[in-house]
Structure 1
Amino acid sequence: MESPTLTENRPYTVPPFAKECLEAAGEAWHAAHDHAFVQALADGSLDSDRFRFYQMQDARYLEAFADATSIISTRCTDPDDKLWFIEAAQMAVVVEQELHAGYGEELGYDADDVAQLELTPNNRAYQNHMIASAHTGSLVEAVAAITPCPWLYVDLGQQLEAEMGEVPESHPYAEWLEMYRDPAFNEYMDHLLERLHRFAVAADPAARERAKELFVLSVRYEWMFWDQSWTKQEWPV
């Protein structure tokens, strides 16, 4: 799979500060697109044990993503911003968890199994990174830390759609591929990236630089999330 350029047109608006973040994360962004886990997921050759590992860890990650966006909502003074982040938290918990529930039945796990799951080192570190940024960073830093997760998935879903066309019903991960190419995510990205830019404009230069660093760190964690699922990461001791 050939990763996209950072300058290509997207079906949603990428404001100037978002472009700066993307450019800062360029190498890691491409690496996340090109990971062996993603390639195997796209062509359907990914074994079910690896996908099960990924799905269960991701279910727990989404809980932390919802926590982070909920915290961000409490820090917003504009009611529209506050409501948007509350709804983003709801999407993470309700909408995407429906996907996990469907695959859970197919792959042999349920909500209790997810609740009792031991987090991988990478997953725990990524969650701590988002929650800490939401609590202690400026508003632009907090939003920068959560942005790579949805942005990378939407970008990836649309890239795969361009390369693959219609997903065959026989594809073992058709539901996952269809979800992240949904045009509804374009509106989501418009709203998220507009807020990231607006909060950056309101921040001082030092906060903007820290936000870019946090964005890059989250992109690296995204690559690590693919990698932990590919290797079925365990704690070394």
Structure 2
Amino acid sequence: MTATVEVRRAGWTGELWSAIEPIHLEILQHPFITGLTSGELAPEAFVRFLAQDTYYVNEYARSLAMLSATAPNMALTRSLLQHAAGAVTAESGLHAELVDMIDAPAGVLTEVLPTPTAAAYVDFVTARVHSGSFFEGLCAVLPCMWVYAEVGRHLVAAGSPHPTYQRWIDSYAGSDYLDEVERVLADVDVLARDVAEVERQRGVDIAIAATRYEWMFWDSAYRGEEWPTLV
């Protein structure tokens, strides 16, 4: 499947997508992602991904809730809270369903040691949310929700012969999730009009780094990344 991106947006998020699009194309070409539609992705790699995603989503939802409390308008407060609730639902519901479908070992989602990549990504997002401006924190969380939406939209066109992978694809290509992300993006465009150019550029830099972490996250699951044994 040729990796293509058909995202064309006006406003500041259109400029932002132009900056992160090259990384997104690399994500679409990664063997983890192409293995979802071919059905050739090793089940153990997908289980590793689900376990690390469970760890990440728990912290990601907290970051979204933190941002919602400091949002400059009610539209963003509502959008971020809704997305935080959706993230928790995915962690508690979708992940458990997928683990059952793929017949993973018991406790795989509850006994999670974060990989170096997952730990670093969480720390990166948390630091921007707690120490940066609201806009900087928003740019740190935005790539996760947006990249997943575009990955889902891309993969659903091809589908997957593997029912577990198809279920994952459908969840992120569904209208409920895509509409939720669109609401956040529209709110970001409104907010960006009143943000200074220097801060918008910092936001782009942060979003680029977060999108790189997205690639690294899938790559770490594919490779079976572990902490080095030093003693």
Partner Cα distance (2:211, 2:105) in 1: 30
| Aligned mate of 2:150, from 155, 174, 189 | 155
Question: Which amino acid in structure 1 is aligned with residue 186 of structure 2?
Answer: E
Question: Which amino acid in structure 1 is aligned with residue 208 of structure 2?
Answer: V
Alpha carbons 1:69, 1:88 under 8 Å: kept: yes
Q: Which residue of 2 aligns with 1:225?
A: 217
Q: Which residue of 1 aligns with 2:172?
A: 180
State the Cα distance separating 1:96 from its structure 2 match. Answer: 4.5
TM-score calculated relative to the size of structure 2: 0.91
For 1:190-201, list aligned pairs within 5 A. Answer: 190-201=182-193
Alpha carbons 1:44, 1:172 under 8 Å: kept: no
State the Cα distance separating 1:146 from its structure 2 match. Answer: 0.9
Question: Which amino acid in structure 2 is aligned with residue 193 of structure 1?
Answer: L
Q: Which residue of 1 aligns with 2:19?
A: 24
Q: Which digits, 9 at most, give the CA deviation of each residue in 1:7-30, with x for residues without a partner?
A: x356xxx34211111111232111
TM-score calculated relative to the size of structure 1: 0.89
Q: Which residue of 2 aligns with 1:55?
A: 50
Q: Which digits, 9 at most, give the CA deviation of each residue in 1:170-220, with x for residues without a partner?
A: 534221121111012231122111122222222111110110001101110
Partner Cα distance (1:171, 1:115) in 2: 23
| Aligned mate of 2:207, from 201, 215, 219 | 215
Question: Which amino acid in structure 1 is aligned with residue 150 of structure 2?
Answer: D
Q: Which digits, 9 at most, give the CA deviation of each residue in 1:32-61, with x for residues without a partner?
A: 111011111121111111111111000111
Report whether the alignment pairs 1:109 with 2:106.
Answer: yes
Partner Cα distance (1:204, 1:31) in 2: 30
Question: Which amino acid in structure 2 is aligned with residue 4 of structure 1?
Answer: T
For 1:52-91, list aligned pairs within 5 A. Answer: 52-91=47-86
Partner Cα distance (1:225, 1:130) in 2: 14
Listed as ranges, the gaps of 5+ residues in structure 1 are: none
CA RMSD of aligned residues (A): 1.8
Partner Cα distance (2:153, 2:70) in 1: 32
Listed as ranges, the gaps of 5+ residues in structure 2 are: none
Question: Which amino acid in structure 2 is aligned with residue 48 of structure 1?
Answer: P
Identity %: 26
Q: Which digits, 9 at most, give the CA deviation of each residue in 1:113-146, with x for residues without a partner?
A: 4343111111011111111111122222111111
Partner Cα distance (1:234, 1:19) in 2: 36
Alpha carbons 2:171, 2:177 under 8 Å: kept: no
Alpha carbons 2:144, 2:210 under 8 Å: kept: yes
Partner Cα distance (1:88, 1:159) in 2: 21
Partner Cα distance (1:154, 1:24) in 2: 17
Matched residues, number: 227
Partner Cα distance (1:9, 1:121) in 2: 31
Seen in structure 2, the aligned counterparts of structure 1 residues 49 and 81 have a Cα distance that, compared at 3 Å, is: same
Partner Cα distance (1:213, 1:65) in 2: 19
| Aligned mate of 1:124, from 119, 122, 143 | 119
Counterpart of 2:190 in 1: which secondary structure? helix
| Structure 1 segments (4+ residues) deviating >6 Å | none
Counterpart of 1:107 in 2: which secondary structure? coil
Partner Cα distance (2:55, 2:11) in 1: 32
Alpha carbons 1:15, 1:194 under 8 Å: kept: no
